[in-house]
């Protein structure tokens, strides 16, 4: 739907599908085509070849505030799947951050990777070294999801997602 002429904050925008980077506003106040696909997020620095990262802290804080104000019950927010709680207890990465719901236990980070050559249910990744091994053998990009979990009250929320470039794909490029 390129060039549909919608306005956002007083500027006319064009939407695009595919790997297109945002172009600066033109003299007429138009913002160029923008893609939200992983291919458009290339170039982030770091130890792993990442294509982009999304942090969900604002969404998490909104859920916590809704719980604290009584808009959400404990049953609404403490609903982690038993397999996620098992992974948190078994291979999760401990943090020093208290659970925002029960405030008794520290939350644990559990990471999953999805991509070509991995099971459809994803693969639980225990650390950066294992993520490197998985990425090295991947034929394409991996989508990694880091979930914070309270093993006691079963609070869980997506902390952030990372797109990691597969080693084989970069070698082909």
Q: What pLDDT does residue 108 have?
A: 96
| Per-residue DSSP letter, 17 | -
| Per-residue DSSP letter, 6 | E
- The ranges of the chain with pLDDT < 50 are 1-5, 8, 12-26, 29-46, 169-173
Q: CB–CB of 170/49 below 8 Å?
A: yes
Q: What pLDDT does residue 136 have?
A: 82
Q: What pLDDT does residue 81 have?
A: 95
């Amino acid at each position: 739907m390129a060039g549909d002429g919608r306005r956002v904050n007083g500027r006319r925008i064009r939407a695009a599908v595919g790997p297109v980077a945002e172009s600066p506003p033109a003299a007429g106040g138009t913002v160029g085509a923008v893609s939200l696909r992983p291919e458009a997020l290339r170039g982030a620095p770091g130890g792993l070849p990442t294509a982009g990262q999304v942090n969900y802290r604002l969404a998490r804080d909104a859920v916590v505030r809704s719980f604290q104000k009584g808009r959400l019950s404990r049953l609404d927010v403490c609903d982690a799947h038993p397999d996620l709680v098992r992974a948190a207890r078994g291979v999760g990465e401990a943090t020093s951050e208290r659970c925002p719901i029960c405030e008794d236990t520290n939350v644990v980070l559990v990471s999953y990777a999805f991509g070509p050559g991995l099971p459809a249910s994803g693969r639980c990744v225990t650390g950066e070294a294992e993520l490197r091994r998985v990425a090295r053998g991947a034929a394409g990009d991996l989508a990694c999801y880091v979930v914070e979990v309270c093993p006691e009250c079963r609070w869980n929320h997506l902390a952030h997602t990372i797109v990691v470039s597969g080693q084989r794909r970069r070698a082909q490029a």
